[in-house]
Chain A
Amino acid sequence: MLQLLPAQHPVVADVFEVAESVLNCSVYSLDSAMAFSSTVNVQLCLLIAGVIAARRLIAQGIKPDFVAGHSVGAFAAAVINGVISFKQAIGLVNSRASLMENAFPKHYGMAALVGFTQSRLKPYLEKHNNAHSTIFLANINAADQMVVAGRTDSIDLLIQELKKAGIQKAKFLNVSVPSHCQLLAGVSEALKQQMETLPFNEPTIPYASNSTGRLLKTGDAIKKDLWLSISTTVKWFDATTLIYESGARLFIEMEPSGVLAKIAAATFPDATVWNVNETQIDHLGIAWNNYQNKESNT
């Protein structure tokens, strides 16, 4: 994820330097198949890559009207709209990920479900939870794309039930932490305490909340979302829909992945969706200007 970034690029160099000064290690040591067995390294890399991508776009004159970050991505979003510094974000994400890793070391996990709406899933989930260890709705990513969290044996049974009911796709994700559900209430509490003493600024642009699906416009509200969202459902479908209803028609996903871009393209067929990658990132300023000209001509 970080290996391919041009280390001499001023934005990249600056972000790497700050990260390394906080973490006391080379950023490259976070980024390998082996290092990724720890969620701490994965989350730190996601934060670093996200902030770098956004700053490289902004440096080219691209001006966002809203920021949204999925799960740990919310920390990068809060850096980009000026609520916290990147240095603070590294410290917070480091704690968040470490707390998560130590919270449920075994027998827990998450699964992605595609093809059922929330209202269609609801009765199956209720019925299942009456008989088995509770499964939580961890993400609502699109109208028909959900993620659930809980004990793996219980998730396994739920997957079988849903497959019988004709769901398109239901499969385990390669994660061992049951994120975004009450099981992580302790992590939220610890993060809250850590954030209490930190200075939070007022945002320069609205921030789409994971925990409420609302647009947040104050530093305090964003602070709460940053500590709370790890123990509540990620309402990504609502958050992005609200951004769309508020007038956004161009969605840009930061590195890495492309998953969110796919979701946005499917959810908002008439919107323009880009996902940033190393081959085109330094040319998106031109694409942005073309987009602006096209919009003002129609």
Chain B
Amino acid sequence: MENQTSTQSWTRKRDEKKRRLSSMAHLADHAIIKKENIVEALQYLLQPGDKVVLEGDNQKQASFLAEALLQVDTAKVNKLHMIMSSVSLPEHLDIFEKGIAEKLDFSFAGPQSLRIAQMLEDGTLKMGEIHTYLELYGRLFIDLIPNVALVAADKADKFGNLYTGPNTEETPAIVEATAFKDGIVIVQVNEIVDELPRVDIPGSWVDFVVEADKPYQLEALFTRDPKNITELHILIGMLTIRGVYEKHQVKSLNHGIGFNTAAIELLLPTYAQRLGLKGKIATSWVLNPHPTLIPAIESGWVDTVHCFGGEVGMEQYVAARPDVFFTGKDGSLRSNRAFAQVAGQYAIDMFVGSTLQIDRNANSSTVVSGRLAGFGGAPNMGHDPHGRRHSSPAWLDMITSADPLARGRKLVVQTVETFQNGNTPVFVETLDAVEVAKQSNLATAPVMIYGNDVTHVVTEEGVAYLYKTTGEEERRQALSAIAGVTPIGLTADHQTTKSLRERGIVAYPEDLGIRRTEAKRTLLAAQNVKDLVDWSGGLYNPPAKFKNW
């Protein structure tokens, strides 16, 4: 075989980066680009067809760089292939309308889910794939390696070292994939300072920083006001605590962001405490800093919490509880979405979520007709990773056979009311996702959690222990038994349900020693946001829209 090294360049990416950097040297002072020069700088640094990561997490947004990108001359910058974990801002899609970008790989698009579906249908945007977070991060190192990353940090120094603080989220993952493959890393910062509280990302990974005209946009996505928790949420919470957490002695877990799980968080120091479960369940968490977890933390229930991102208003509280949260030498939270997702996939025993639709085989989806919301990270956590090897009592408790090679399972729990908003059944014959896949020409239907990964479904009617069922028919019967008066629930047969209850495949409240009338709001450790502030000793500082006292 002929040796090609003498004729072929092995540094084309490095050379191209060098060319781009020198072409715009007049616009930068070492690592610093002035904000008034950013649009022109982008016109030198971006080339048509580039793969570009524009940082939009579901909380932090590189909003200044998004606006700058929108202003580039489309004759110079076009046909970009955007890679965005979260499509959240109108600007994220305006760049496609203007012809600056052409193709999109993303993970979550909840706040833009109709527009993205329309643009796909109209051919304004070409779809790459809709990923889960971990798949998207993974592909940044395989076949979606960025040419340019546009990300956000709180502070930088003049060498380009970055402080990303409580909202570190996925910035390190994006920057690593770009910096070490000769891509260009451009960072918007709220301020450039002489000394950083700590270095979250070293300056040698960063090419340019630009001080934005205003701080990056940040949403309080994980704040649930306890005053909106209903007695139905509380009943479901009690059933889940007794029927799942206590029964399987689940210690490590993740919660979704619904009111069902918020109720559980607020029932730990009250209801679960009275059951004598403190220290036996729910001690180790991968979770954003949910304000509704404050009472459980203050009551000594929680050993540790690793966070995907921060939460507006929780900064001081988290900084004052370093035994519980991961914090830096400066005292503030260090979050990391990629590691938290890995932990949520492999290291915890249970995922508890909620959903809008469940079909008769327990497949579930939050997709509604005509909307492309994507996945985010729920599917990473809401499945049983078959490669897991380490054991724990909860994981081993899922074994139902005597096979000497039998392995445990992660608990994947869906907690839902049988009807959402009182009139739309959650249990349906066919998920809307099936129709959405057809409309948008997707390769697969956008199922959030696959039925064969779900171990438990909890409704206000009871708990279905799906992991114990044998075969599809019994699985369906167990679901029907807890699906209330939805069309799926009405197919339940009295005798069959009786047998399922006797065999422990279905449990109704009375089977778990719960009286429905016990489910009162007075059981909640906090009734409203003010109570959460009081629990925190004034360290929690909720955003204005939650301050209603």
Binding site for B on A (CB under 8 A): 115-120, 143-144, 168, 213-214, 238, 241-242, 245-247, 270, 298
Q: Is B342 an interface residue (CB 8 A)?
A: no
Query: How far is B372's CA from A241's CA once the two chains are assembled, in angstroms?
Result: 13
Q: Is B207 an interface residue (CB 8 A)?
A: no
A209 CB to nearest chain B CB (Å):
11
Q: Which 10 pairs of residues, A with B, have the shortest CB-CB distance?
A: A247-B90, A115-B423, A241-B114, A245-B115, A119-B369, A246-B90, A119-B432, A245-B112, A168-B423, A242-B114
Query: How far is B118's CA from A242's CA once the two chains are assembled, in angstroms?
Result: 9
B313 CB to nearest chain A CB (Å):
13
Contact call A245/B369, Cβ cutoff below 8 A: no
Contact call B111/A245, Cβ cutoff below 8 A: yes
Q: Which of B111, B114, B122, B544 interacts with A298 by CB under 8 Å? A: B544
A-contacting residues, B103-144, CB 8 Å: 111-115, 118, 122
Q: Which of A115, A144, A238 interacts with B114 by CB under 8 Å? A: A238
> At the interface, is chain A mostly helix, strand, loop or mixed?
loop
Q: Is B424 an interface residue (CB 8 A)?
A: yes
Residue of A nearest to B112 (CB): A245
Query: How far is B114's CA from A241's CA once the two chains are assembled, in angstroms?
Result: 7
Contact call B368/A143, Cβ cutoff below 8 A: yes
Q: Is B225 an interface residue (CB 8 A)?
A: no
Query: How far is B94's CA from A246's CA once the two chains are assembled, in angstroms?
Result: 9
A128 CB to nearest chain B CB (Å):
17
Q: Which residues of A contact B474 (CB under 8 A)?
A: none
Query: How far is B90's CA from A241's CA once the two chains are assembled, in angstroms?
Result: 12
Q: Which of A119, A168, A214, A270 interacts with B118 by CB under 8 Å? A: A214
Residue of A nearest to B370 (CB): A238
Contact call B90/A119, Cβ cutoff below 8 A: no
Q: Which residues of A contact B114 (CB under 8 A)?
A: 213, 238, 241-242, 245
A106 CB to nearest chain B CB (Å):
34
Q: Which of A116, A117, A168, A298 interacts with B368 by CB under 8 Å? A: A117
Query: How far is B110's CA from A241's CA once the two chains are assembled, in angstroms?
Result: 12
Contact call A246/B115, Cβ cutoff below 8 A: yes
A-contacting residues, B58-82, CB 8 Å: none
Q: Which residues of B contact A270 (CB under 8 A)?
A: 545
Q: Is B231 an interface residue (CB 8 A)?
A: no
B125 CB to nearest chain A CB (Å):
14
Contact call B118/A213, Cβ cutoff below 8 A: yes
A277 CB to nearest chain B CB (Å):
27
B374 CB to nearest chain A CB (Å):
14
Q: Is B531 an interface residue (CB 8 A)?
A: no
Q: Which residues of A contact B112 (CB under 8 A)?
A: 245
Q: Is B435 an interface residue (CB 8 A)?
A: yes
Contact call A245/B435, Cβ cutoff below 8 A: no
Most chain B CB atoms below 10 A, which of A214, A245, A298: A245
Q: Which residues of A contact B421 (CB under 8 A)?
A: 144
Query: How far is B368's CA from A92's CA once the two chains are assembled, in angstroms?
Result: 37
Contact call A245/B90, Cβ cutoff below 8 A: yes
Contact call A119/B115, Cβ cutoff below 8 A: no
Most chain A CB atoms below 10 A, which of B122, B370, B435: B370
Contact call A144/B115, Cβ cutoff below 8 A: no
Query: How far is B425's CA from A116's CA once the two chains are assembled, in angstroms?
Result: 10
Q: Which residues of B contact A214 (CB under 8 A)?
A: 118, 122
B428 CB to nearest chain A CB (Å):
8
Residue of A nearest to B91 (CB): A247
Most chain B CB atoms below 10 A, which of A120, A242, A298: A120
Contact call B118/A144, Cβ cutoff below 8 A: no
Task: Contacts A118-B369, A119-B369, A242-B118 given; indicate if A144 touches B111 (C-beta within 8 A).
Answer: no
Query: How far is B421's CA from A118's CA once the two chains are assembled, in angstroms?
Result: 16
Q: Which residues of B contact A118 (CB under 8 A)?
A: 369
* Complex A-B: 23 CB contacts under 8 Å: A115-B423, A116-B424, A117-B368, A117-B369, A117-B424, A118-B369, A119-B432, A119-B435, A120-B428, A143-B368, A144-B421, A144-B423, A144-B424, A213-B114, A214-B118, A214-B122, A238-B114, A238-B118, A241-B114, A242-B118, A245-B90, A246-B115, A298-B544
Task: Fill in one digit per residue for B366-393: 1 if any A CB lies within 8 Å of its CB, else 0.
Answer: 0011100000000000000000000000
B215 CB to nearest chain A CB (Å):
12
Residue of B nearest to A117 (CB): B424
Q: Which residues of B contact A117 (CB under 8 A)?
A: 368-369, 424
Task: Contacts A115-B423, A168-B423 given; indicate if A242 touches B115 (C-beta within 8 A).
Answer: yes
Q: Which residues of B contact A116 (CB under 8 A)?
A: 424
Most chain A CB atoms below 10 A, which of B115, B368, B432, B545: B115
Query: How far is B118's CA from A238's CA once the two chains are assembled, in angstroms?
Result: 10
B293 CB to nearest chain A CB (Å):
23
B373 CB to nearest chain A CB (Å):
11
B364 CB to nearest chain A CB (Å):
15
Residue of A nearest to B435 (CB): A119
Contact call A120/B424, Cβ cutoff below 8 A: yes
B420 CB to nearest chain A CB (Å):
10
Task: Fill in one digit per residue for B464-493: 1 if any A CB lies within 8 Å of its CB, else 0.
Answer: 000000000000000000000000000000
